[in-house]
Amino acid sequence: MKCGSCVQAVEKILNNHPSINNASVNLVTKTAFIELKELNNSLTDVIQTLSSKGFPSKERDYQTISNNIELEKNENQNLWNKWRQLIIATSLLILSGMGHLVEGQQISIPLIGSLPFHAALATFALLGPGRSILKAGLKSAIVFSPTMDTLVSLGVMSAYLASITALIWPKVGWPCFFNEPVMLLGFVLLGRFLEERARVNTGTALKELAKLQPDTANLILENNEIREIRIGALRPGEKIQLLAGDRIPVDGLVVKGNSAIDISSLTGESLPLEASPGVELPSGSLNLESTIILEVQKIGSETAIAKIISLVEEAQARKAPIQGLADKVAGIFCYGVTTLAFVTFLFWWKIGTKIWPKVLEVSNTGFMQSHHLHDHLINTTQTPIGLSFQLSIAVLVVACPCALGLATPTVITVASGEAAKRGWLFKGGDVIEMASKINQIVFDKTGTLTIGRPLIVGFWEHKDSQRNEMLRLAASIEQDSRHPLAQAIIQEAHKKEIRLEKVNSSTTFAGKGLAGKINNVEGCIRVGTPEWIKSEGVNWNEIIEQNFILSKRKSQSVVAVALESTLLGFFLIDDQLRKDALLSINKLRSRGFSLSLFSGDRDSAVLSLGKKLGFSSKQIEWQMLPSGKLNKLNALKKNGLVAMVGDGINDAPALASADLGVAIGTGTQIAQDSADLVLLGENLEALPNALQLSREAMLKIKQNLAWAFGYNLIALPIAAGLLLPSSGLLLSPPLAALLMALSSISVVFNALSLKST
């Protein structure tokens, strides 16, 4: 595919195929994302149909790292082929220029400068570097799917055939344009090379992600022997060894060892993940400190890095709605340009030169027109038909559906790739466009604005006890419990490096607490609800009661600790606010977003959190069921487009219903599947940054479309000779080719500038 017309042609072929419901084609990645009517439908017939219409195709399988290396080799080979064609075309241009100097008697080289010499150069240019363009253009014309190659082919062949006719039968009085095919192909191939080189750079982010997966892994055999094998040979349940500095090749569970793991390449998190037995690690992350043993859980296309790559590729294939107009225009563009070129030829041949006879003299010194050194080669433009040929060829060549076709997909490709590098996964170009239009954001509380797990946020200890002693006794008796509140106490003890004692005996009282005995401590230890502790005969006075009431106001949960009949104190346990939540909320407010907070938690907890983050009472809803969140969200849609940010199963309906569903990557899988944008890691500041990226991307797209449409609106009339009668301004075909190439290149480079914003 070369231009927007190609995209329209391929989509038309695919959408008309009986096996396909819908298709979306990306010019930059040269891929088609199709929705089959039945999952077991074969793609063989689809591929054959495309190939027969001039678009050779093959099925895109899951890309392992080896495939990506092969893909990169193919890209480099393609770039080298274009470079080789450009070198040959440039050499021909130099020879053509030398011929003009010989003709002007500036230099003296035998055989160079004659008309047959220039005819031979033009013939060699067509059969050599121009052959692929002519072949593709002719094939597209035969199946009535004209492309940019068709326009260039028509321009080049018109000039060549007219020149050959004039050379063989001089009596026809036509001009010779043998220098035009050489110059046209030279500038077109220069543009193609620069465009391809820039286009390769648009996919660098995705390639960098693919390279995060190593080729081999150290497999631990049954006899503890270690053998290096390909990652494709690994199977779930097997164990691999990871040394410091190794990339993790698969998703796995740490079974032995402790280390720090750099996951910044996947989630954007700057702080490393502390890996210990029982911790799951994603593929693509980096082992920083020491050797660990990993049990393989997911391989191939099921790994975290593979899913990210798949999501990014899907995002690049799914179009933004704004691209629809450009594709429609590009689809009919070639027909319109061909018609304009024909009308231009007829007008200047039969009408224009009679109305303004002076244009034949003016055009001889027109803009970038031929000089006296090679007047006889092109016979100047002193005849009506000569001028008509030049203007119609310029119209064919200056037109650029490439810029229209590249305007949107280049930006979507760069934006989605850059976002993925930072841990933000947009699920389509349409999602990027929607994200740029959002003006209302609804937040879930637990796991979204908070970290989603209870932690100790405060203490109240009896004056006769010590805080660390209370923590040691409670954590020791709770160390085998899986209750979230018990885990909060144990985590706090580990944080303070308190050594836990062995449990001698323990009894769990469902919904109340736990009682038991530990080594080196006489008496029964009770940890549980204050009401239960009080009912067990523990001394409870007015001061304790007052502090209990105060503690309830400060936190979501209060856990009491007692030794025999003496109360040691209270743990104040609550879900903590994400460290960057306030900063993120303030950023969004400053950018004009209307914010709301929905939660299923009790009113006091939600109102307390809302107050910390600056929400008014009208912006907060509590004790909401999933259906309630959905109904309230739909009501907000009356005021504009709404984004829903959540992480749990209960958020899935609202995430799916919102104009933009945003899932926090630490949340449930169903929330991530229901969302349009997934923010990996625990960094909430990714939300305002991702929304800002989407706005910058849409600005780039609008700039590209404005340039692509504006260029053609200005260039085509000038090429057709609009300014020739009044100002003598005339675009020669070579200059038209150069302008066409520059228009495409400028669109790609504007998209690449998104990387630096």
Residues forming a β-bridge with 646: 663
- Pick the closest to residue 181 from 161, 195, 201, 166 (CA basis): 161
Q: Do residues 585 and 441 make contact, with C-beta atoms less than 8 angstroms apart?
A: no
Q: How far is CA 271 from each of CA 254, 262, 551, rounded to the nearest angstrom?
A: 19, 7, 32
Cα(474)–Cα(703) distance, integer angstroms: 63
Confirm whether 444 is a catalytic residue.
yes
Q: Where are the alpha helices (DSSP H) in 438-509?
A: 467-478, 484-495
User: Can you tell me whether residue 724 is helix, strand or coil?
Assistant: helix
What is the rounded end-to-end Cα distance, in angstroms, of the chain? Answer: 29
Cα(494)–Cα(503) distance, integer angstroms: 17
* C-alpha count within 13 angstroms, C-beta hemisphere, residue 524: 12
Q: Which single residue is written with the structure tokens 């290149």?
A: 745
User: Can you tell me whether residue 145 is helix, strand or coil?
Assistant: coil
Contacts of 660 (CB under 8 A, 6+ apart): 431, 434, 435, 438, 641, 642, 643, 644, 676, 677
Q: Give me 521's structure tokens.
A: 């401590």
Cα 581 from chain centre? 25
| Given 246, 444, 647, 659, the catalytic residue | 444
C-alpha dihedral sign at 98, 101, 107, 109:
positive
Element (H, E) at 372: none
Cα(422)–Cα(267) distance, integer angstroms: 6
Element (H, E) at 738: helix 733-752
Cα(86)–Cα(172) distance, integer angstroms: 34
Positions marked active-site: 444
